Amino acid sequence: MENVVEHSLAADGLAVGYDQREIIHDLSVRIPTGKITVIVGANACGKSTLLKTLARLLKPSRGTVLLDGKSIQQIPTREVATKLGLLPQSPTAPEGITVADLVGRGRYPRTRWIRQWSKSDDEAVAEAMTSTDVLSIADRPIDELSGGQRQRVWIAMALAQETDILLLDEPTTFLDLTHQFEVLDLLVDLNKSDDRTIVLVLHDLNQACRFGDHLIAMKDGDIVAEGNPSEVITEDVVQDVFGLAVKVVPDPVAGTPMVVPIGRHTSRTDRTDTAAAGSSSGNLAAAALAASAAANGVCRPTPE
C-alpha cells in the first residue's frame, strides 16, 4: 500500500433532508482521525443520512462537510475518491463479474487516460484481497459467494482505493453472527495496521461498544451523546435514544459496556407465572360464561 497521509473529516452546521423533510438539523461533528467511529441510533434517526452526507452522496441544504479543512463540495470527485472510500448498504455488482474484477474497480479513481493500469495497481489489488482473505477466490463470480465472502470482497474493493478514510453503512446487515464478527474483526485489523480512519453505522449496541473507539448516538437528526463507549452507552442514554429500559453491565469478554434489555418478560419464571395467571383467568372466564348461559336459559335441562 502507498504511504497513507492522514486526512481529516468533519461537519459544521449540517442540515440535510429529502424533498421538503429535514432529517438532520444543524449538526456539527469531528471524526477522530485514526480511530473506529460507530454511529448508533434508532431507525430513521439520520445515521445513514449523516454517513451519505459525509461521503458527498447527499448535499446539505445548510452547513459544510470538511475534508482536510476544505469544503468537500469544492473538491473534485476523483480527488475525493482517493481520500475517502464508501461501502453503501446492500451494494450490487454486475452479473457474472469476478472477485478480482470487482476489487480492481477500486483503482479507477487513481487511473487517468495518461496513466494506464500499472504494476502498482496490480499490487494494490493483490494486497487488498490478501488483507481481506479473498485472494484464493479471485477468479470466482461474486454471485457464487456467501454473504460474508461478498462483504469481504466489497471491503477489498474499497481498500484498493487506498484511502485513509473508510465509511461503511451497516456492513453487517443480513450476515449471520459468525460473518458479522469476521467483518468487524477485519475492520479492527485494518485500523490497527494502517491507522485508517473508519466510520460505520451499526444497529447492535454491544458490537458497537466492543469494536468502536468512538461512538456517536443520534436521535431525531441530532447527536445526543458522543465519546468512548463507556461514556455514551449508559442506561439513561439508551432509554432516551431507543425508548428502551436496559441494564448496562460489563461485557464478560471485552470489558466494554454490554446492554441487557429489560422488556416486559424478563425471565422464564416470569413467563411461567404469566402463563399460569393466563390459565387461571381463562378458567374464571369460562365459569362466568357458563353461569351467564345458564341464567339466560341457553343450557336447558334435557327433558326426560
Question: In this model, does residue 179 exceed pLDDT 70?
Answer: yes
User: For residue 154, is pLDDT > 60?
Assistant: yes
**pLDDT at 258 > cutoff 90:** yes
CATH number for the domain spanning 216: value is 3.40.50.300
- Which domain-ending residue is among 162, 189, 205? 162
Q: 148 vs 87, 124, 178, 179, 213, CA distance in Å? A: 14, 22, 9, 5, 24
Asked whether residue 77 falls in the same domain as residue 8, the answer is yes
pLDDT digit string (tens) for 56-78?
999 999 999 999 999 999 999 98
Q: Quick one: cell of 211?
A: 469494536
- Residue bearing cell 453491565: 249
**Same domain, yes or no: 102 and 63:** no
Are residues 24 and 126 both part of a single domain?
A: no
Averaged pLDDT of the chain: 87
How far is the C-alpha of 304 from the C-alpha of 294, rounded, in Å?
Answer: 19
Instruction: Mark which of 238, 264, 288 sits at the end of a domain.
Output: 238
Per-residue pLDDT reduced to its tens digit, 108-140: 776 655 556 678 888 989 988 998 889 999 999
Phi, psi of 45 (to 5 degrees): -90, -10
Could you tell me the residue range of the domain that residue 144 belongs to? 96-162
Could you tell me if 11 and 27 lie in one domain? yes
Pair (129, 140) in one structural domain:
yes
Residue 109, pLDDT score: 72
Tell whether 209 is covered by a domain.
Answer: yes
- How many CA atoms does the CB half-sphere of 203 hold within 13 Å? 11
Strands 9-18 and 246-250: unpaired
68 and 4 both lie in a single domain: yes
Whether residue 180 is found in the same domain as residue 47 = yes
- Let me know whether 137 and 75 are in one domain: no
Answer whether residue 170 is part of any domain. yes
Q: Which of 162, 187, 202 represents a domain boundary (last residue)? A: 162
For 194-253, how does the pLDDT look when each residue is reduced to its tens digit (9 = 90+)? 899 999 999 999 999 999 999 999 999 999 999 999 999 999 999 999 999 999 999 999
